[in-house]
Each structure stands twice: as structure tokens, then as C-alpha cells.
Amino acid sequence: MNIQQIDRQYVAGTYNRFPVTIVSGRGSLLTDENGREYIDMGTGIAVNSFGVADAAWQAAVTAQLGRVQHTSNLYYTEPCARLAQMLCTRTGMRRVFFSNSGAEANECAIKAARKWAAENKGPEYSTIVTLRNSFHGRTLTTLAATGQDHYHELFQPLTPGFVHVAAGDAGELAAAFSRYKVAGVLIECIQGEGGVLPLDPEYARALARIVRENNAVLMVDEVQTGNGRTGRLYGYMHYGLEPDVVSTAKGLGGGLPLGATLLGERLQNVFGFGDHGSTFGGNPVCCAGAISILERIDDALLESVRSKGEFVRAALAGAPGIESVAGMGLMLGVKTVRPASEVVAECMRRGVLCLTAKDKVRLLPADLLEKAVAVIREAARP
């Protein structure tokens, strides 16, 4: 059996994989088992922001591997402490809880909001409001947070205490606050899996105001939009929001599993000893790699993300077969006349790997944009 046959027989059938077996890569080029090269427009779903085999990240990771690979959270390690310090310095947040994935980062955000509300408003204030069409993860609690019914089927009962309101409808949010005892509101600034849909800025301001007026917790899920992907360090910075909690993962670890939940001033002391934990969270190898990622996401890099994004947008918008391009920075959703899955399959035949999000071709690239965009234009042609 070849690798794809073995995988299909022995790996749980949750992934409808493309028929490509990746063996190596460099930068934005991936090489398959037959030596064919592909341009990578997905970066492992917004993870490998500096491409594959990035030298600085590799050096940081291997240096830490040579010292100690894991200690448990019973002891201090330098990479964990320094990364938390960097994240707080860069955002104005006060403390960080480290985990291993986006779903776990959101679980921590939800626990923080519920505990803070229980202590500051009363234990009945447990409801978490999220937006319809959102995506917050695959655990039973983050599925409950995810505002898409089709993910919920056959996994009932999900964690109770979640309510979904329409993105863009401040009236429905205000009504949820009258109807339920709300602990907090969790949002994505750009719904990623939901189709690369940025929140309307005016709605985001109204939402933040309603959360404040009700003394609730504002949580922003920056798992996909975070760590420079949209042209700012975090997506909420485009909107002038001041979240109480920020969850992130994906691009933070540069390819190793790392989640982070940042707690702002109001919630900085919400957790005490034993309230939350993780065996691997804050792993020194993952954190050492993340430091090398984060220290390179400076103003010049963010500017280049914005200008690269503008280049892709300008090159695709108005091309034959392309209806619209949405998103920010290098998180873009391209609406095509042909079904997105057909365009993605055609791109793959032509050596470019893209993603989909709902009815759109989703691009989360790092580099080699000129070549890739030319291929996408050809593939989208009706």
C-alpha cells in the first residue's frame, strides 16, 4: 500500500484530504513524494507564516531541543516566561495562559469569563454569546460556541450556556443581554471558516459598547486572525477594540502546537492555583519557536503583509470569473463564479495549493504571490 492508502485505512476518516503527500518544503514551496513542487497558499491553515523550514525558527527550536524538551508546568522555563512577557508588552494585556491549540485557548477564555462573572456578577451569569456562522473549535464546549448548526448534529448534548446572535445586528445582541444572564461575548473579527467575513466596524463598536454597559467580558478569538496575519499584530487592532480576553494559536507557534489566552486588566487575576492547567501548555520548544516568530512580526513586516494583501486583491479583483475579494492583509476570501472547490482543484493541477471557506477560495499565504495569483486567475476563468 502507498502512504495515501495506509492513511485511508488506519487514520480516522475525519479529513477529506487532497491526493497529495507532502514530504518536504522550503519557504512557500512544498514538495510531494514524486518530487513535484507546489506553491503553498494555505500555510498549513495560517500556521507557517514564515514558510516551511524557516531558518530562524528552526534554529530557535533546535537550540531549545538540545537543552530540555519538556519540564511540565511544575517548574519555570525561560521560553515560556519570555514569550508571555513579549505577548503582554506587545498588546497591553497582563497575563497569559498557554495551551496547545485554538480550541483549548478558547476553552480557557470561556472558563475565565465564567469564573470572573460568577465572582463579580453572580454564579447565574454564565451565558456566553457568540455570533452565527462563527467557528471556535471542535471540543464539545467550543462546538457549542461555534454558531453553525451543522457542526452540532449528532454530538448532542453540547456544553450548555451558549447563545448565538446574528453578526451585524446590535439589537439582537442587546436583546440577548436582556433575556439571558450573560458572562461574556466571544467574537472573531474576521469569520475565517465562516467564509472570510470581516465584522462591520460600526457593529464592532456597538458590540463593544453593549458588552461594557452590561459589565460583561469581551473575548476575541484571534486563532486565525492573530500574529500578523491580517496586517496588524491582532485583528482586533483594526477595530480599536479593547478586549478583556484574547485567544490565539495557529500562527503563534510557527508550526508547533501552541495556544495562548491573554488576559487583560480586568481579568488578569481571575485564575488562581489549580483553576486551570495543561501538561504540555507553554512547552519550552514551542515557546522558543514562537519567540522567534513574534520578534519578527514588527511594523515593517506588518506593512509588508498589508501591501502584499493589496497586491493580491488588486490582481484578482475584477478578473474574469472573480466576483469579489474579501478579508484583510493575507487572510483573503475570493468569491468565484465557478464553485470554489473546482477552482481549488484546478489550481492544484496547476501547482498551487489553496483552501476553501464556505463558498470562497481562501488564501492564507506567505510568499510567491505573483506566480500563484497568475495561476488562480487562470483557474477561476469560467
Residues at the contact surface with ligand PLP, assessed by CB under 6 A: 101-103, 106, 135-137, 188, 192-193, 221, 223-224, 249-250
Rounded to the nearest 5 degrees, what angle is found at the Cα of 51, between the Cα atoms of 45 and 52? 95
Which lies closer to ligand PLP via its Cβ, residue 277 or residue 318? 277
**Nearest distance, CB of residue 221 and ligand PLP, angstroms:** 5
- In sequence order, the 6+-apart residues with CB closer than 8 A to the CB of 138 are 103, 151
Which lies closer to ligand PLP via its Cβ, residue 98 or residue 135? 135
Strands 190-191 and 127-131: unpaired
Q: Which residue is nearest to ligand PLP (CB)?
A: 102
**Nearest distance, CB of residue 220 and ligand PLP, angstroms:** 10
Which lies closer to ligand PLP via its Cβ, residue 46 or residue 84? 46
Which lies closer to ligand PLP via its Cβ, residue 126 or residue 224? 224
* Residue-wise burial string across 345-355, b where 16 or more C-beta atoms lie within 10 A, e elsewhere: ebbbeeebbbb
- Order across the sheet with 37-40: list the strands: 22-26, 29-32, 37-40, 352-353
CA distance 326 to 313: 8
Beta bridge partners of 217: 184
Which lies closer to ligand PLP via its Cβ, residue 238 or residue 250? 250
Strands 217-221 and 182-187: parallel
Which lies closer to ligand PLP via its Cβ, residue 135 or residue 234? 135
Helix, strand, or coil (residue 32): strand
**Nearest distance, CB of residue 155 and ligand PLP, angstroms:** 15
Inter-axis angle of helices 284-294 and 55-65, nearest 10: 150
The DSSP code sequence of 271-282 is --TTSS--SSTT
Neighbours of 114 (CB within 10 A): 20
* The three grid cell numbers given for residue 60, joined into one nine-digit string: 530557535
Question: Measured over all CA atoms, what is the biggest interatomic distance in the chain, rounded to whole angstroms?
Answer: 61
Which lies closer to ligand PLP via its Cβ, residue 258 or residue 379? 258
CB 215 within 8 A of CB 267: no
Which lies closer to ligand PLP via its Cβ, residue 322 or residue 326? 326
**Nearest distance, CB of residue 319 and ligand PLP, angstroms:** 27
150 CB burial (10 A radius; 0-12, 13-18, 19+): exposed
**Nearest distance, CB of residue 192 and ligand PLP, angstroms:** 4
- Order across the sheet with 95-99: list the strands: 95-99, 259-263, 245-248, 217-221, 182-187, 127-131, 162-165
**Nearest distance, CB of residue 193 and ligand PLP, angstroms:** 6
**Nearest distance, CB of residue 290 and ligand PLP, angstroms:** 14
**Nearest distance, CB of residue 76 and ligand PLP, angstroms:** 26
Which lies closer to ligand PLP via its Cβ, residue 141 or residue 292? 141
**Nearest distance, CB of residue 53 and ligand PLP, angstroms:** 22
Rounded to the nearest 5 degrees, what angle is found at the Cα of 37, between the Cα atoms of 36 and 39? 150
